[in-house]
Structure 1
Amino acid sequence: MNGKKTSKRIWIGGLLLILAWMFVIGCAANPPLTGDNQEKTPGSYTVVGIGPGDGDLLTLRAAEAICRADMVFCNPKTQQKLAAYVDFSGKQVVDGYGVLFRYYGRDCKKISQEEKKPRPPMDQEKKRPRGPMRCEEFHRKQAEFAAMVRDAVSSGKHVVLLSGGDPTIYGPDMWTVKELKELNPTVIPGLSAFNAANAALKVSLGEVMLTAPFKKEGSRDTIEQLAGHERATMVIFMPRDMQALFARLSASYPAQTPAAIISHAGVVGQEKVTMGTVGGFAADTSGIDRWRSIVYVGEAVGRAAFNPGLSLQSAAQGKFYLVGVGPGDADLITLRGKKVIESADLIFAHQRLKDKFQDVLSGKEVLTGYHRLFPFYGKPCAKVRPGDQRRERMSCEEYHQKQEEFAALVRAAVAKGKTVAMLDSGDPLVYGPCSWSLTELRDIETEVVPGLSCFNAANAALKAGVTEGKTSHSVILASGWSVEEMAVHQSTMVLFTMRTQFKKFIDGLSAHYDADTPVAIVFSAGYAEKERVMQGTLGTISDQVGTGRLPFEYLLYVGDFLSDGGRVAH
């Protein structure tokens, strides 16, 4: 019986991948039906995350949604970026409704004069201020947008709003999901600048604090407050004033703390990584493009495998790719990731991924048995504690042997000019079991193809902006090892559970959050047929879960962002 179920899942997964790819390449060949031959179907509204950087960081699922859309909200620059991958002909493309979140749901009469006079935003193209709109103008444009969408959906049209990066992380478009909740909108996850910057830096991350240089009254998750965690990496979005930012960081971190600035993440030919220290950047940030940058601070940055010199090696040499294939169904892989797989000569993949991408991998040399080899990497077996050894499936010596086998196979193939790819689920650099390979293979050219994290997919399932808490604008990614340490900030938290006992999480959170704090569990994020959300509060969720065994694939969210606009409010 289990064999039949497995075969059925493999068959369905392969079919989904084929259909998604057919949508991408067949969009132009199959224009939307019009007139009398168009079948009347219910309309829909979808916020589509299109990722950062180049257009090939679009997922297959996102490309399919754009292909089937009748009306597309996007600006000309976005349309041009995606034109090589999606055919916009025959669609109603609407410009002029981007970045309208400001003052949404607020009474203009109650907004202070100081808040009404923000620093004018910068024109990204001409690098000069453009005049800010008044509160009333924002409200008028918001109402116009909502009316257009409602009219289109009521007439049976499929409407999509293209949102850069991951729309749930400092995205300007999640207000539309709140406004149009009666339409039951869908959010398609997109890569964040965080995922693309991880790939550029080649840094393996565990605990992460995603934040921005804002200050929200009453919050406990400002840069200064978050800076006290040695194991966690701080990732700062929108560092508009680099000099002021590093002045703040230098007051909270030792001067020698590793730091990096990644500019134009995901843009081939423009992506730039600048390594340094907090003290060094505090002294000089000249030449850094602040408008397209993201900042990393923490000890993990010092262990990054970024090595620009190897990109100049002989063309006769091959290359090693660590490919993030996303969570969930096969259609959450990016176009770039799929292209690398198609061009690879040798592929390493877990059996589950080999089954999921069987159509793309057909006819290729695929080796299994080399997944999750990170335990004890770089550590003498004599220093391994007996307790750590008992938790693993192999002995320390066996792990070291398999690590050496893998490295030898890759080096031999690359020396022959072959392209080698290691496939890994999700974002391979966030709690990724294959990131050790980048450290081991520093002597050859490597590249990381960014992938959606299960975190990105779960955010989309919640249909809420995770950085839009009432008293918090930061998001902490943590695990069972650090839950109580990180919970002290009462920020939004996303817990990668990884078989940790559920009670341990609840006990750790309850020490710092009130019992009525909203909580959500996302099961099987990214799987169209299996994805499920359970919601409650910190005080009720244990009873809701009960005593049954939870699956491996679930994320636990805590934070008041869930109480306004997410599924909790529906």
Structure 2
Amino acid sequence: MKNNNLEEMEMENKMTRGKKRITWMLALLWLVSVICGADILNAEAAVNGSFHLVGVGPGDAELLTSRALDVIRGADIVFCNAKKQEKLSALVDFKGKQVLDGYNVLFRYYGKDCAQVPADKKSWHGMTCEEFHKKQAEFAKLVRQAVKEGKHVAMLSSGDPTIYGPDIWAVKELHDLDPVVVPGLSAFNAANAVLKVSLGEVILTAPFKHKDSKDTLEKLTGHDRATLVIFMPRDMKELFTRLSAVHPADMPAAIVSNAGMAGREKMVRGTVGGLAANLPDMDFRRSIVYVGKALEHAQFEAKPSPENAGKGKFYLVGLGPGDPDIATLKALKIIESADLIFVHKRLGKKFEKYLAGKNVIHGYHRLFPFYGKKCADVTPKDQARERMSCEEYHKKQAEFAAIARKAVAEGKTVAMLDSGDPLVYGPCSWSLTELNDLNTEVVPGVSCFNAANAALRAGVTEGKNSHSVILASGWSVEEMAAHQSTMVLFTMRTDFKKFIDGLSKHYPADTPVAIVFKAGYAKEEKVMHGNLGTILSDMSKDKLPFEYLLYVGDFLNHSADRLKN
């Protein structure tokens, strides 16, 4: 009897201890969930389905990338308006998909306390701050539930969603779902193609007027090498009045409207003073304004000579960085129709399935050194940087031009293929000047900048201290860093320490930085985060590849990676 009682007591003690363990485990799990928040609560959701913010480019459907098209076709739920659906209807079968309208452009008031919003600014386009918050929460709930059910969700966003994009807030809101941003062609890339202008240093901005802002138009001036590119110029008259106050009257300027919309594109080139005095009659709602000396070499007004009119055509084609699926549908279409193709061997290898059976010529890539210069004026220092002599470059340039001209004269379609955006630090852009007597066209490409933005999963124009972005290189890093705007550095084998030393003179040591490696390569793409004061030591043991971009700016605090951590 005693033994039975002892056994019962022991069993009861074991059960009590077991209950206590379970209670402690539940308490621990609760504590961890409180500390880690939505990351744990939504871990299951992140594994099952997916959320993609898809850049669909500006204008025509053929400026969509292959990757974007694949994501849209594979989606179960698509957030887009009727206009985008109609644009893509020839490419995507929307039957069987759940298409939800009314959830784009919900960025207004995101993350803000409505009680702190001034009374005269509490509504926008007929919706109050509270209504925006309600709609944002509704959207997030729909996506989370769908992803939890294993569905694939795509939100379509015009242009590049990371550059003044109205939908990038969704990536921040849904960072716990490990969202993917699919890079898209920006209106900037499309407008470059219209202008046929080769750009190096670029300042992407908008007509900000706040007196305390570091990136007003008035403060972003004074750089001979840089081109000012102004998005959303709502009041064109006021804009050119402001530009006239800080730029010489003869400073080249241009307006491009409806970039990427074949048949509707329009461009006007003049000077700041001339355009201020006499604005053209055109649609300014979808316009981008360019200001800078680089416009002196724009080729958009070039016309075929009488002997070449009505014959063949020369295309400079941007294929984007990284994997072949970053190329636009239009780029692939031109490759398919081309009779003669110039391409670097390495780039040709990536696109070999598209080039099969084509007349392909190698050996004429990156021939820009010394173009238009007299060899007698080339310094030994400049010559030492290059792999061939000035005379050899001139010979190869002439060979290329002769081959292209002969083919066009025979009525053939000739394409020069280049990676990225061929007009942003593009090594083949000189060909447009050389062949300006032919019928030429630029097919815009996604820049490595666009692809790296997508890898960061953050709005590069969404910084706390800056809403402008400066694209710079080793030649100008210190000069451009003085603005303390967001910077994107095209490194091109420049010594990494040189960048950091130049930046450190103008930015605090705790300024967030990021390095994006192999942007656009789905399996090789990598992002490394740090800050300006420690990034050199963080990178001391790592060898940097050629293909990387360096980002500087507090917008990085809102990247999906940092929010998750």
Give your verdict on TM over 0.5: yes
* Equivalent in 41, 44, 50 of residue 50 of structure 2: 44
The one-letter amino acid of 1:137's match is: E
- The CA deviation string for residues 91-130 of structure 1, in whole angstroms up to 9 with x for no partner, is 1011011100000011000011243366xxxxxxxxxxxx
Does structure 1 retain, via aligned residues, the 8 Å contact 2:302–2:436? no
Structure 1 equivalent of residue 474 of structure 2: 480
Partner of 2:90: 84
For residue 220 of structure 1, report the CA deviation from its aligned partner.
1.4
Check the 8 A contact 2:227/2:294 in 1, yes or no: yes
Task: For residue 509 of structure 1, give the secondary structure of its aligned residue in structure 2.
Answer: helix
Cα distance, 1:316 vs structure 2: 4.4
Q: State yes or no: 1:113 paired with 2:119.
A: yes
Q: Which amino acid aligns with 1:255?
A: A
Contact 1:216 1:471 in 2 (8 A): no
CA–CA distance in structure 1, aligned partners of residues 520 and 254 of structure 2 = 31
**1:21-32 counterparts in 2 under 5 A?**
none
1:332 aligns with 2:326: yes
- Displacement of 1:313 after TM fit? 8.3
> Could you tell me how far 1:290 is from its partner in structure 2?
1.2
Does 2:59 match 1:63?
A: no
Shift of 1:280: 1.1
Matches of 2:345 and 2:108 in 1, distance apart? 47
1:285 CA drift (Å): 1.6
Preserved CA contact (<8 Å) 1:217 1:471: no
Matched residues in 1 for 2:148 and 2:543: separation? 43
Counterpart of 1:523 (choices 500, 506, 517) is 517
CA contact under 8 A between 2:56 and 2:65: conserved in structure 1?
yes
Looking at structure 2, the residues matched to 45 and 485 of structure 1 have their Cα atoms a distance apart, in angstroms, of 40
Contact kept in structure 2, 1:216 and 1:473, CA below 8 Å: no
Aligned partners of 1:199 and 1:312: how far apart in 2? Answer: 24
Partner of 2:459: 465
3-state SS, counterpart of residue 246 of structure 2 = coil
2:214 to 203, 215, 220: 220
Alignment of 1:147-546 (within 5 A): 147-216=141-210, 218-307=212-301, 309-310=303-304, 316-546=310-540
Q: Is the contact made by 1:207 and 1:232 (CA closer than 8 Å) also made in structure 2?
A: yes
Report % sequence identity.
Answer: 69
AA paired with 1:91? K
Distance in 2 between residues matched to 1:221 and 1:513, nearest whole Å? 15
Distance 1:222 1:157 in 2: 43
In 2, are the aligned partners of 1:464 and 1:561 still within 8 Å (CA)?
Answer: yes
In the alignment, is the contact (CA less than 8 A) between 2:303 and 2:438 conserved in 1? Answer: no
* SS at structure 1 position matched to 2:134: helix
Residue 296 of structure 2 aligns to a residue whose secondary structure is helix
Rounded Cα–Cα distance in structure 2 between residues aligned with 1:72 and 1:364: 37
The corresponding residue for 1:122 is none
Q: Is the 8 A contact 1:313 1:445 kept in 2?
A: no
Show CA shifts across 1:501-551 (max 9, x none). 000000000000000000000000000111000000000111111144310
Name the residue aligned to 2:25: none
Is the 1:321–1:447 contact (alpha carbons within 8 Å) kept by the matching residues of 2?
A: yes
**Using the alignment, how far apart are the partners of 2:306 and 2:126 within structure 1?**
45
Using the TM superposition, give the Cα deviation of residue 218 of structure 1 relative to its aligned residue in structure 2, in angstroms. 3.4
How far apart, in 2, do the equivalents of 1:316 and 1:254 lie?
Answer: 40
Q: CA deviation at 1:161?
A: 0.1
Quick check: 402-411 or 208-217, which moved more? 208-217
Asked if 2 retains the 8 angstrom alpha-carbon contact of 1:174 and 1:464, the reply is yes
For residues 400 and 315 of structure 1, do their structure 2 counterparts lie closer, same or farther at Cα, with a shift above 3 Å needed? Answer: closer
Give the secondary structure class of the aligned counterpart of 1:152. helix
- TM-score, normalised to structure 1, is 0.89
Equivalent-residue separation in structure 1 for 2:89 and 2:132 (angstroms): 29
Shift of 1:239: 0.4
AA at the equivalent of 2:472: A
CA distance in 1: counterparts of 2:401 and 2:304, whole angstroms: 17
After TM superposition, the structure 1 stretch with the greater mean CA deviation from structure 2, 186-195 or 559-568, is: 559-568
In 1: Cα distance, 2:307 partner to 2:204 partner:
35
Deviation per residue, 1:328-348 (Å, 9 max, x gap): 001000000000000000000
Distance 2:85 2:289 in 1: 28
Alpha-carbon shift at residue 371 of structure 1 (Å): 0.2
8 Å CA contact 1:218, 1:471 repeated in 2:
no
User: Secondary structure of 2:131's partner?
Assistant: helix
RMSD value, Cα: 1.5
1:31 corresponds to which residue? none
Residue 533 of structure 1 aligns to a residue whose secondary structure is strand
1:19 corresponds to: none
SS in 1 for 2:209: coil
C-alpha contact 2:309 2:438 (8 A) present in aligned 1: no
Give, in whole Å, the separation in 1 of the partners of 2:95 and 2:381: 61
SS of 1:72 mapped into structure 2? strand
| SS of structure 2 residue aligned to 1:406 | helix
Provide the residue aligned with 1:30 in structure 2: none
> Quick one: distance in 2 between partners of 1:215 and 1:340?
43
Q: Deviations over 1:323-381 (max 9, x none)?
A: 00000001000000000000000000000111111111000100000000000000000
User: Structure 2 vs 1, CA of residues 171 and 404 (structure 1 numbering), >3 Å: closer, same or farther?
Assistant: same
Aligned counterpart in structure 2 of residue 103 of structure 1, from 106, 109, 116: 109
SS in structure 1 of the partner of residue 527 of structure 2: strand
Give the letter for the 1:152 counterpart. Answer: A
State the one-letter code of the partner of 1:346: L
Measured in 1, the distance between the counterparts of 2:312 and 2:280 equals 36
Q: Which one has the largest radius of gyration? A: 2
Asked if 2 retains the 8 angstrom alpha-carbon contact of 1:250 and 1:279, the reply is: yes
Deviation at 1:399, TM superposition (A): 0.1
Q: Is the 8 A contact 1:496 1:555 kept in 2?
A: yes
CA distance in 2, matches of 1:132, 1:229: 41
Report the secondary structure of 1:490's partner residue. coil
Inter-partner Cα distance in structure 2 for 1:273 and 1:174: 29
Distance between the aligned counterparts of 2:524 and 2:318, measured in 1? 21
1:569 CA drift (Å): 2.4
> Distance in 1 between the 2:210 and 2:66 partners?
37
Confirm or deny: 8 A CA contact 1:307 1:442 kept in the other structure: no
Change (3 A) 1:375 1:306: same
> Which 10-residue stretch deviates more, 267-276 or 494-503?
267-276
Deviates more, 1:172-181 or 1:509-518: 172-181
Q: C-alpha distance in 2, partners of 1:69/1:254?
A: 51
1:211-268 CA distance string (max 9 Å, x none)? 0012356331111100111110000000000000000000010011111100100111
Counterpart secondary structure, 2:72: helix
Distance 1:193 1:355 in 2: 29
Q: 1:308 to 1:93 in 2, by over 3 A?
A: farther
Which residue type is aligned with residue 431 of structure 1? Y
- Give the gaps of 5 or more residues in structure 1: 1-40, 119-130
